[in-house]
Amino acid sequence: MTRGSQLHQKKLDELLRECRTHLPSVDEPLVAKAFEFALEAHKNDLRASGDPYFTHPLEVAKIVSTEIPLDDITVISALLHDVIEDTEFNMDILSKEFGKEVAEIVDGVTKISGIFRGQEITLAENYRKMLLSMVKDVRVILVKFADRLHNMRTLEFVSPEKQRRIAQETLEIYAPFANRFGLGTVKWELEDLSFKYLNKEAYEELVRKIQNKRKERESYIKKFSEPIIERLKEYNLDFDINGRAKHLYSIYRKMVRRNKPFEEIYDLFAIRIILNTEDNNYCYTTLGVVNQVYIPVPDRFKDYVSIPKTNNYQSIHTTVVGPDGRLVEVQIRTKKMHEVAEKGVAAHWKYKENKATTEKDLDNWVNWIRDIFENASKDEARKDLLESFKLNLYQDEIYVFTPKGDLRRLPINSSPVDFAFDIHSKVGFHCIGAKVNGKIVPLDTVLHSGDQLEIITSKNQHPNKNWIKFVKTHKAKSAIRKWINKEEEEVTEIGKEIWDKKTKKMKLSFTTQDIAKLALSLKFENPKLFFRAIALEKLNLDEILLSTRTKEKKDKAPVLEFENFANLARGDIGGVIVEGTEKSGILYSYAKCCNPIPGDPVIGYITIGEGIKIHRKTCSTLLRISEKDASKLIPVQWPEAESSLFVAGLTVMGEDSPGILNEISHTIVSYQNTNIKSININTNNSTFEGSVTLYVQNIDHLTRIIERLKKLKGVYTVERFESA
């Protein structure tokens, strides 16, 4: 056996030993097979540190076998998690060699990795996909956490720019998400490692200050704990008591939030009492002992044993006044509660007798995630969704009760409307008022833990647009938006029905384009808003239709559109005058290549079969064909009076902003009732580029409109283009 083979065998033996220690059962041959498969698949790859790439999947497997242990399938998936992404192997091979379950977990982890690559972390859709992939198999996200944890532990080997990007993503999404998943230890380490790369100076200063205070802290914790230990021994309790390490990022965040120096924040000492018992009642016995020894601080007590957090975290938190008047935070929990707090959902599998309850708790948690992402309304802005998601990850919760005493968890600062939608969508839709602790309160009242709520409903009540401003839950926001959109659609449909009846009665016919043009001329951005105004009786429809009919009768001037420029006209009908000839009988048409309008310098070109083609003198096509035979050119001019309308095209570019389309349209139609034939705007990042075709009388008419458009805020350039 070569030295390399011996080393690999040693590493495999270590991994199997850890699996046997921490997992309920292990398929050792399959773990060994996955080890050899991954080793071979990554044999030619190196990490940024210069180490063989295989060290990464091996370390990820160690994390899921010791730090967040669940089962051997998770360990095997961790060993193989980069195989599909980085090698030539595919899902089919993994499924055949290791089973469908392993293949699906690896595929889920690969998809999550692909989501983030090269993307901005503000793309909410990425997180929707990530969460929904986790919903299919909880082990997908456990492997991803382990993968991210090892990458953060080795982040020193990548470029500073990549360090900051990965650290920011970890701090904003992975760390709070790990907390929601119940992985306390992972959450703290991810936060501290992110902090290290995002603010190195503050990180190193805190490390130095903590080192200087270590002996003093240890001495004080011992002094504080001794009288508690004596009392607890009197009750024959089996327990461990120790100082709880304050995490660097937590200290830093408190310093910033409270605007206080390190010394004041760090003087808040903390200890943890872990009871080696399955009986939760001993937590309250221990609390009684602590309160006998030291004076408790009012309003600093939290009981998460009776009411666990969403992630199943359980513990009693209290703050007491210790020796020398210093405040000390005390956490009291059983050994099982501690494992759940440290290892989250993975710890539940250790306690088989509670597996049914565990799976129910996990289902509740997964349903909470699914509710956020699947019920988000489609028209909700991606940025809004992400901000809501981040808020839900970071925020604390409040606990409120129904009139019958049922417990409901809500985000902090929730309102009675959030509570109503949490009960049922129908209750939310018809919510007209609320009683909090027996008193009628406004619907935007901020709720607090312990409040008891009763919702007052009415069949005639419907969601109000203002509710969006104060509701906090995704369920409430999504439902309110959907209802408002549905209501607007119904109103629009009523307006359209009124329009159809009126136009039919007056025997008027309008195309879709005609309606769009009419809506624009009446200062509406689109036909929907036009129909809505009709339904709400904000317009006198009879008057509009009568004026439209009158205008149709009066306006008999021929209109030359782009697609009709080739149609032939006679020289005596509102067109050009051909010098040296009689007006009648001259056949001519306007060239589509340059679309001349009155005022443009023009010239005629004699063609075979189509008479004279009228071009602008600057037309590139004219210059090219006249080189072959200049004798076919003939002088022409515009008559003094011109009643025709001509189509001209403009390109407009500028800075993108809300309502820019409306501003451009309004600027055009408000000048001499100019009609727009078509308008098209495309946006790219923060800029827009658009084309407008409009009906003008002459070059002066067009020049005035160009000048007006150039004055619009954010418009960079306005230029005429020759052909459509």
Q: Give the position of tokens 């100076």.
A: 201
Instruction: Give one word for 585, left, alpha or beta, with left for phi > 0 and alpha for psi -120 to 50.
Output: left
Size of the chain in residues: 724
Of 189, 180, 474, 175, nearest to 309 (Cα)? Answer: 180
496/535 Cα distance (integer angstroms):
8
Angle separating helix axes 474-505 and 541-554, nearest 10 degrees = 50
DSSP conformation class of 171: I
Catalytic-residue membership of 92 = no
Specify whether 85 is catalytic.
yes
| Tokens at 104, concatenated | 């699906």
DSSP assigned state of 608: S
Token pair belonging to 309:
């957090």
To the nearest 10 degrees (0 to 180), the angle between helices 416-423 and 474-505 is 80
For 698, other C-beta atoms within 10 Å of its C-beta total 17
Q: Exactly one of 27, 28, 59, 86 is catalytic; which is it?
A: 86
Catalytic residue among 85, 97, 101, 493: 85
- Cβ density class 5-44: b for 16+ within 10 Å, e for less: eeebeebbeebbebbeebbeebeeebbbebbebbbebbee
Kindly state the greatest CA–CA separation across the chain: 126
Which pairs count as long-range contacts for 706-715, CB under 8 Å and 24+ apart, including other chains?
Answer: 706/650, 708/667, 708/668, 708/671, 709/650, 709/652, 709/664, 709/667, 709/668, 712/654, 712/663, 712/664, 712/667, 713/657, 714/654, 714/655, 714/656, 714/657, 714/660, 715/652, 715/653, 715/654, 715/655, 715/664
State the helix-helix crossing angle for 72-79 and 3-22, rounded to 10 degrees.
150
Q: 232 — phi, psi (to 5°)?
A: -65, -35
**What is the rounded CA–CA span in Å between residue 324 and residue 289?**
20
Torsion sign over Cα 6, 12, 16, 18 = positive
Cβ neighbours for 482, distance < 8 A, ≥ 6 positions apart: 377
Where residue 324 falls (left for φ over 0; alpha for ψ -120 to 50; beta otherwise) is: left
Q: Which residues are catalytic?
A: 85-86
